[in-house]
Amino acid sequence: MKYKNINSAIHNFGHSFVSLMNYVDNVYIIDELNVIHSRGYDIKLNWLTREFQPSELLSDRLKKSIDYWGNDLEHSLLSQNVELKKLYSLFFIWNAKDNKKYMQAEDDRERGYKVYVNDTI
């Protein structure tokens, strides 16, 4: 386990989630997230529990995407020598008040991480 790789690992995972690689049922997931964001909602996705907020706007397509990416999370992090069990929290966050998307995590040493992601490939 390399703690110094956490920033890179969560950035890459978050970037992939909002990229054009995330295409489900003929829709880019970033487009669905954009609609939610443009309606003034904060978006928060807990990757450890797969809980999405606002829960009332969780579509079947978005759930399908979260499940797909969530199933690959451990493998994705391990590919960069980061053990998922060492992370006590891992979130994708996009607040309504700004246009900055980021991944936020805390490791088993109580160190926090925050990295911004873009929605381009």
For the stretch 35-84, pLDDT in tens is: 999 999 999 999 999 999 999 999 999 999 999 999 999 999 999 999 99
Residue 87 pLDDT greater than 60, yes or no: yes
Whole-number pLDDT of residue 119: 63
pLDDT band for position 99 (50/70/90)? confident
**Residues shown for the chain:** 121
Beta bridge partners of 116: 102
Give CA–CA dist 74/89, Å, rounded: 13
Quick one: 90 exposed, middle or buried, by C-beta within 10 A (0-12, 13-18, 19+)?
Answer: buried
Percent of the chain residues past pLDDT 70, beyond the cut: 98
